[in-house]
């Protein structure tokens, strides 16, 4: 039996399209895999910016770590451990300013660690994971849309996850969510459109 780690990012709770889609994905995943689901909610997790003690801890051998360094990399150790322990990962995130929200960038900074998630020769050490990324976007960045190339979020996540060995990556772009916020459609009617993509990704 496989397990799934769901990484949630949006602070918008019930108004969040990425959370609505993540819930649908998780239900489908559970009915086809029946495994355990763990949730890491970055909107309620303290993910500090990288500090000097963090850099010391991440770039020196454990026997040289001061208590301050150990404490600074504790979150990083925890986030990496849960990543390595899972078979599948779902990242559900908003697009902010054409990229990802700062808290998800901070998660990336903690999770990309030389000697732990990638080797000094840039070989990924988090292999064999299937990852789905749902990006809720206010605008439309689908193939052929005028602003397609402005979507930095997809390319960035593909790059950083690829570095740690995650290459089985399926990105679902869910936009334009502006139609929900402007009341032209409901969150459920909007999400319904992504059912086939979610079904395929969760199978």
Ligand X SMILES: Cc1cc2nc3c(=O)[nH]c(=O)nc-3n(C[C@H](O)[C@H](O)[C@H](O)COP(=O)(O)O)c2cc1C
177 touching ligand X, by CB under 6 A: yes
Using CB under 6 A, which of 138, 142, 163, 185 touches ligand X?
138
Buried b (16+ CB within 10 A) or exposed e, 106-126: bbbbbbbbeebbbeeeeebbb
* x/- track of binding to ligand X for residues 71-100 (CB under 6 A): -----------------------xxxxx--
Task: Mark out the alpha helices in 99-193 (DSSP H runs).
Answer: 102-111, 152-163, 178-181, 187-192
Cα 120 → chain centroid: 24
∠ CA 150-155-161 to the nearest 5 degrees? 155
- Cβ of residue 125: shortest distance to ligand X, in angstroms? 30
Tell the residue number behind the tokens 């001061």, with chain if given. 66
- Cβ of residue 2: shortest distance to ligand X, in angstroms? 26
In the complex with ligand X, the residue whose CB is nearer, 22 or 161, is 22
- Cβ of residue 191: shortest distance to ligand X, in angstroms? 10
26 touching ligand X, by CB under 6 A: no
Instruction: Please give the residue ranges that form the binding site for ligand X (CB under 6 A).
Output: 10, 12, 16-19, 94-98, 136-139, 177
């Amino acid at each position: 039996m496989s397990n799934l780690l769901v990484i949630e990012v949006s602070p918008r709770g019930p108004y969040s399209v990425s959370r609505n889609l993540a819930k649908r994905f998780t239900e489908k995943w559970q009915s086809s895999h029946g495994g355990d689901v763990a949730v890491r909610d970055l909107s309620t997790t303290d993910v500090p910016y990288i500090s000097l003690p963090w850099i010391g801890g991440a770039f020196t051998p454990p026997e040289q770590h001061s208590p301050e360094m150990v404490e600074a990399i504790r979150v990083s150790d925890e986030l990496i451990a849960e990543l390595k322990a899972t078979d599948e990962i779902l990242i559900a995130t908003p697009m902010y300013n054409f990229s990802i929200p700062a808290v998800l960038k901070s998660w990336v900074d903690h999770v990309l660690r030389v000697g732990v998630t990638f080797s000094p020769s840039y070989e990924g050490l988090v292999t064999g994971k299937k990852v789905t990324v749902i990006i809720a976007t206010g605008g439309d960045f689908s193939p052929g849309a005028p602003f397609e190339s402005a979507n930095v979020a997809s390319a960035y996540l593909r790059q950083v996850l690829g570095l740690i060995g995650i290459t089985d990556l399926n990105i679902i772009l869910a936009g334009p969510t502006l139609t929900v916020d402007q009341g032209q459609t409901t969150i459920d009617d909007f999400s319904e459109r992504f059912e086939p993509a979610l079904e395929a990704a969760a199978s």
